[in-house]
Amino acid sequence: MNANVELPTRPLALFALAVTGVFTCGAIGALTNAVNGAVSPQYFIANMGWQGVEDVWRASISRGIFEGLLFGVGFSLVFTVGVGLITRAGCTYGFAARHLTGIVAGALVCWVLGGVAALVLAAISPEFYRQTFNGVPQDFGGTLCYAWVGGSIWGVELGGFACTVIGLVVLRANWQRRAPSVDTDDTPDLERVADPFAIKAR
C-alpha cells in the first residue's frame, strides 16, 4: 500500500477492542479456574483461606472471573494502546481481533505448559514440592493435582504477558506487509478508486 496514503482513524474499533480484551480475560479466568477448582480444591482452600467455604469450585470460578477482569483492564490498556500506535488507529476491529485471538490461544497453551511443568517437578520429587510450597497434600495424587493448579496459574499469567509482547510484534509485521484490501472491510480501498488513467499517463 502506498505509504503516502493515510487510512481513516477508527477510534470506535479501538474502543471495541479494549472492551473485548477485558471480557475475554474474564472468560479465560472463569474457564481456567473452573478446571483448576475441579482438579484441586485444596489449592484454593490453602492459598485463599477458604476453609469455611462450602462450594470451593464455584468460588474458584468467581475468583477467576474477578482476577481475569482486573488483569484484562491492564492487558487491554497495553494491547489497545500498542495497536493504536502501530496502526495509527487505522486498523479495523477484525484485523486487531485476529491477533487478540492468537494471544488468547498462546496464553492457554502456556496455561497447559505451566501445569505440565509443575506436574513433572512434583512427580520427580514430591517431598521437594511439599517442602517448597505451603498447603500441599501429603498423598501423591493430591500433590500432583495441587502442582497442576499452581503451575498452570503461573503459566497463564507469565505466558499471557509474553504472548502480548509477541502478539504486538506479529501485528506490527503483518500491518507493514498487509495487502491493500486488509483494512477495507468497511472503507473503500483508496488505491482502487485512484485515477484509472494513472498507469497510461506514465
Instruction: For residues 82-110, give the mean pLDDT.
Output: 95
Q: How confident is the model at residue 69 (pLDDT cuts 50, 70, 90)?
A: very high
| Residue scoring higher pLDDT (189 or 82) | 82
State the pTM of this model: 0.81
Contact by Cβ (8 Å): 25, 67 = no
C-alpha distance from residue 108 to each of 20, 35, 117, 122, 150 (Å): 17, 12, 14, 21, 15
Average pLDDT, the chain: 87
- pLDDT band per the 50, 70, 90 thresholds, residue 189: very low
Q: Which of 77-86, 149-158, 173-182, 188-197 is predicted with the least confidence, judged by mean pLDDT? A: 188-197
Q: What pLDDT, on a 0 to 100 scale, did the predictor assign at position 185? A: 47
Report the candidate in 100, 75, 74, 72 with the shortest Cα–Cα distance to residue 174.
Answer: 100
- Integer angstrom CA distances of residue 192 from 4, 92, 112, 185: 15, 18, 46, 13
At 134 the pLDDT is: 87
Q: What is the pLDDT of residue 8?
A: 79
Report which secondary-structure segment, H or E, holds 74: helix 56-87
Residues of the chain above pLDDT 70, percent: 85
Longest Cα separation, the chain: 83
The dihedral sign for the CA sequence 104, 106, 107, 109: positive
What pLDDT score does 175 carry? 94
Q: Does residue 119 register a pLDDT over 90?
A: yes
Looking at per-residue pLDDT, the higher value among 186 and 81 belongs to 81
CB neighbour class for 87 (10 Å; exposed up to 12, middle 13-18, buried from 19): buried
**Higher pLDDT residue, 202 or 158?**
158
pLDDT for 125: 94
